[in-house]
Amino acid sequence: MKRLLCLALTLAMLAMSALPAAAEEATVAPVSEAVEEEVAAALDAGDTGLTVEGEAAPAETLAEAPADPIDTETADAAPEDEPATAVAAASNVAATGIQLSASAITVGVKEEYKGLTVSAVPAGAALPAVTWRSDNEKLVRVDQSGVVTGVKAGKANVFARFEGGQEVSCAVTVLKGPRKLVMSETKLTLGGDGQTTRLSYTMPSGYASNTFTWSSSNPKVATVDQNGVVTTVGAGKANIMVKAYNGKGGKCKVTVLGAPTGIAFPAESMAVALSQTRKLEPTVTFSTRKKADASVAFAISPNSRDSGCITLNAATGEITGVRKGTAVVTATTYNGKSAALTVTVAAAPTDIGLSQSAAYIGVKDVYSGLFANLSTPAGETDVVDTVVWTTSNKRIATVDQNGVITGVRKGSCVITATTVTGLKDTCKVTVFKAPKKVYISPASAQLKVGEVNQFKYAFPKNTGGTVVFTSSDNAIATIDNDGVVTAVAEGEVTVTVTAFNGKKATAKLLVKGKAGEDVDLPTQEYDSVESTTSLYRENMTNAEKLEYVIYCAQSMLGRPYVHGSGYHDDDYKVGFDCSGLVYWCFKRINIKLKDTAHKQGYDNSQQKIVSIASLKRGDIVCFNTVEDGADDLVDHTGIYLGNGEFIHASSSGKKVIKSSLSGYYSRTFSWGRRVLG
């Protein structure tokens, strides 16, 4: 009975749902009489088949049952706040047009290009069936999958269209396939066990290819991915190749060594000037003697005293000085080998002067007497002392980075020293044929104790080179490499001059008696040459300043002779050369002189004193120790003390000494320079 009742109600509701929603007063079609009777009987029995809150629904609630049937399939799928019909429509949007992935492409002859794709407009709409065509199949073909093929060099268009829509086009340029590819590297030497590097290529202009394939001839030595990244595997050789669609390409010959065994910087420390950029170049060692790229990575150590004093390019190793300070830079190979370098940032020098403007050497002669003197900025104590040495003609003479010159063949060239800031000074080098003989003059000489003289040397015509002078007994007489001999004690010695190639000559020197005065001395004399001023003060008179200069010079007595030293404030700890002592002493009163003897002698900003008799205490005394009669050369300087004495750094005496303006020094005196009137 319940089933019949439910059937009747269902039929009634279906009939009602079939009516238009607006026809609220429309008549519902009657059910059959048999059904009416069955329903009435069920009502009399109180069996409706409906329940309300768990109880049988009373007869009067039947009229309130829902009039519209529920579609259980769509009800489950539709959101609570959206009609089911809206969901169905969203997944079925019709395309209003199409678009191509490119408006223009370039392909090679006989190349298949699969990169041209089509998409629906609007985005997300279903893509309709598309047909393709070319407007010139003699140049370009396209299949119905959109694959474009270049037929012949030229230009054409391909079109895509869907039924009922407009065509869209892509301009196609067809070029010849490349004959070769130019590799970024044609040879590489790498370390083994996982080092990586990336190769690239370029294609000559006027050719086209869109497909490139990388490969290795020996994957057991090195592999390569399709981005050109090479990874080493084991020791050996392999060709890394890249090919275009037509098989043409390029290759790089790769030699793989063992993994790096170590890495080291040329020195434990280096200096860089403020704002200067320098590139670090550590040396990587391998199990073999061959060199290889080791993919070195650079970093500033966090334990640095001042990590911010430099900036660093971690890939290239370029450092730039930012402020004064010290930092530690590490260099690490791809397999973990590491080295450390201490970098100090200091001021740049303000000037550079070479120890000589000319040098004369022989073929195969090695000359180490050229030095660079650097000037320190005011208020600074240290400068970057790095100097780069170059030669104008390495076929005539070479120079290393210590300034050591080697003669190669006869001729002349220019050696240049350059500071980190680009300051330069030069020395002209003349190279002669090696001598077959060397001569010394005089063949014999006699001096008194304390006197100074000079031995000279000569070579046969068109030959030359450097020489060394020696004394057979330095306790009797000493001699420097310029041939200046100083008598020390009575006795006899042999003086020998030796050319760079071993050729020798000798002379005899007899020392007897003591030196006397043989020169007119200045009329203004002093009871003592000792300084009267040992403390520097502001507002000193010129006379007091000169006394302080003399005090500084006398306090350096006995310091060693060191060529090229004296141009930095702390050089007194090491020693001086002649012009370095003069420079250092006058700098104590904030007067900066020229930095070589020649420049000090020819500094025309200072009064020239033409005779020994006109000298005053504190004047610079200038000498021409070559004794060749020329008055246009100054190669030695000192500071006049008065009473016929001067103080200087003597290369023959090997230290800072006092000497008399008599004998040798009276003969070689050129003139004086007055710094303070």
Phi, psi of 304 (to 5 degrees): -65, 145
Work out the end-to-end distance of the chain between its first and last CA atoms, rounded to an integer number of angstroms: 144
pTM more than 0.75: no
For residue 211, give the nearest of 240, 244, 178 by alpha carbon.
244
568 tagged catalytic: no
**Residue 524 confidence class, pLDDT cut points 50, 70, 90:** low
Q: What is the pLDDT of residues 89-143, one digit of tens each?
A: 334 788 899 999 999 999 999 999 999 999 999 998 988 899 999 999 999 999 9
- Identify whether the C-beta of residue 189 lies closer than 8 Å to the C-beta of residue 288: no
- Identify whether the C-beta of residue 559 lies closer than 8 Å to the C-beta of residue 656: yes
Per annotation, catalytic residue among 170, 252, 309, 578? 578
Q: What is the pLDDT of residues 322-354, one digit of tens each?
A: 999 999 999 999 888 999 999 999 888 888 888
Per annotation, catalytic residue among 563, 568, 598, 636? 636
**Residue 627 confidence class, pLDDT cut points 50, 70, 90:** low
Lowest mean pLDDT among 107-116, 217-226, 403-412, 529-538: 529-538
Tell whether the model's pLDDT for residue 528 goes beyond 80: no
Give percent helix, percent strand, percent coil of the chain, each to the nearest 5: 15, 40, 50
**Residue 207 confidence class, pLDDT cut points 50, 70, 90:** very high
Question: pLDDT: is 379 or 283 the higher one?
Answer: 283
Rg, Å, the chain Cα set? 50
**Residue 526 confidence class, pLDDT cut points 50, 70, 90:** low
- pLDDT value at position 197? 92
Phi, psi of 366 (to 5 degrees): -110, 115
598 tagged catalytic: no
Compute CA 197 distance to the chain's CA centroid, rounded to the nearest angstrom. Answer: 19
Residues 6+ apart with CB under 8 A from 513: 448, 449, 490
Q: Which two tokens stand for residue 32?
A: 């059959």
- pLDDT value at position 451? 80
In percent, the amount of the chain with pLDDT more than 70 equals 83
